A and B are shown apart, each in its own frame.
Chain A
Amino acid sequence: MSDYVYVTYIYTTPQKVWDAITKPEFARRYWVHCNVSDWKPGSRWEHRHGDDSGKVLIDGTVVESDPPRRLVITWTRPDKSKTPSRVTFDIADYAPGLTCLTVTHDQLEHDDAMAASISGGWPKVLSNLKSLLETGKTENIWLTKGKEG
């Protein structure tokens, strides 16, 4: 399985993209889930369901953190049944007012089911993020017709 890469261009600032990924109250609005950490290198992070259960869906370690430009995290099943994969967020100024977000999800060779799941999930999450930042509107992406990622 090759690396998964998704690039999107959003009318917003790098700081808002960074906040959208790292602040739970922001992420819940478009991801439904949220990401919790102090975002310092070496710290633990958790990808939690956004509901009251706060169930941990994915966890891992912060590998690199350079707000608001770059964040690298390991992506681990909570039961540790598979070798972790890795997610890199690169956030760059592209043109005046336009920010380029590149999400690279790699090291997936030990987890085909995760590779299939994230390739369905990232387009939903990142399209919804773009809609939120540009229009203020979102969908509950895990309830629309289609597979949960």
Chain B
Amino acid sequence: MSGNSFIYVTYIRAAQQKVWDALTKPEFQKQYWFGGHQESTWRKGAEWKMFMPQHGLTDSGEILESDPPNRVVIKWRNEFRPNLKAEGYARCVMELTQEDDLTKLTVTHTIDKENSEFIQAVSGGWPRILSSLQSYLETGRAHGDTRSVSEGAHT
């Protein structure tokens, strides 16, 4: 792997269904995803779109696999940064497993391109988003960061 894949694993003290809901429901996403949210039915074949407050539509694609609350696979393309959009579709796999009182969440983002700028961008974004998610679910307080994810490192 040289720059075409990013993996992040986190363990969150919450039930697996709560983590799934936080990942897929806009009212929860807006709490920890720096104001952004996603629209989809989360069924296989459904459209998937991400919106950020200052940018509108930032990413779009399709649900390739869906097995709530265990696994979802998203066909994912950036829509607002031309250099990232030009790289085409990436694939994002989110896997959840309950381990005693913890939920293990693994996010794997891959693209069929070496030294991908898209992967470089999401490599900065995911740790911020998933740290914010862990704080949100464990303490009720997400990361109120003034630096927008989309202006920072995320897609």
Q: Are B143 and A139 in contact (CB under 8 A)?
A: no
Which of A2-10, A16-24, A31-39, A42-50 participates in binding chain B? Answer: A2-10
Which of B59-67, B82-90, B98-106 participates in binding chain A? Answer: B98-106
Q: Are A134 and B127 in contact (CB under 8 A)?
A: no
For A95, give its contact among B1, B2, B145 (CB under 8 Å). B145
Q: Give the residue name and chain of the B residue nearest to A2 (CB).
A: B1
Given contacts A2-B1, A146-B99, A146-B104, contact A141 B131 (CB under 8 A): no
A2 to B1: give the CA distance in the assembly, Å: 8
Given contacts A8-B127, A9-B143, A98-B145, contact A131 B138 (CB under 8 A): yes
A131 to B141: give the CA distance in the assembly, Å: 13
Q: Are A8 and B13 in contact (CB under 8 A)?
A: no
Number of contacting residues on A, CB 8 A? 24
Chain B binding surface SS class: mixed
Q: CB-CB contacts of A113-141 with B at 8 A, as 1s and 0s?
A: 00000000001100110110011010101
Q: Are B141 and A123 in contact (CB under 8 A)?
A: no
Q: Give the residue name and chain of the B residue nearest to A123 (CB).
A: B9
User: CB-CB < 8 A to B128: which residues of A?
Assistant: 9
For B135, give its contact among A134, A145, A146 (CB under 8 Å). A134
Could you list some 9 contacts between A and B, CB below 8 A? A2-B2, A98-B145, A124-B11, A134-B135, A134-B139, A135-B139, A139-B13, A139-B102, A144-B100
User: Lowest 7 A-B CB distances belong to which pairs?
Assistant: A123-B9, A9-B131, A7-B127, A127-B11, A145-B99, A144-B99, A144-B100
